Structure 1
């Protein structure tokens, strides 16, 4: 955020809290979708034990990776100040 060296205002702390919540929630949804897409067939269909285990493990690991990549990317983008503009606020150059 733009506060260099000083204490953060309440609005900055609130914005960071909301952004962390958004990062965690969107990462959880993305991870669940990835897990479901990869491990879903193992949960729905009768597959050989080896294939079932492989799909479950791959789904789990890729879901974890997607979760952390999503959290980091959202928080890095927020830290750079490139989140979408908020309705009702004007930019100095508009």
Structure 2
């Protein structure tokens, strides 16, 4: 991942920037879809107050968890793919 004595190349910096952007955008989309699926019926239907309160609370609790899980999973996967393989060994995924 680091070339030239520990410094990142411009291509490595650009790849990391793109991956961070992808992680944030895809996580925001996933969280929004999940919030809409869980809390959406509250806005569409006339539900009893306790049910709507539970759905809104569940949506606002689960959406940030999904957001963070998505960001972490994308960035960890990127970091693992950027690690150089062991010299002299072939990678079964290649």
| TM-score, scaled relative to structure 2 | 0.82
Unaligned runs of 5+ in 2: 83-93
Question: Which residue pairs with 1:12 in the alignment?
Answer: 12
Residue 48 of structure 1: CA displacement? 1.0
Query: What is the CA RMSD across the aligned residues, in angstroms?
Result: 1.6
Question: Which residue pairs with 1:59 in the alignment?
Answer: 59
Cα deviation digits, residues 27-58 of structure 1 (max 9, x gap) = 00000110000001111100111111110110
SS of equivalent to 1:80: helix
Question: Which residue pairs with 1:48 in the alignment?
Answer: 48
Q: Distance in 1 between matches of 2:25 and 2:79?
A: 18
Q: Distance in 2 between matches of 1:47 and 1:66?
A: 25
Aligned residues: 82
Q: Distance in 2 between matches of 1:58 and 1:64?
A: 11
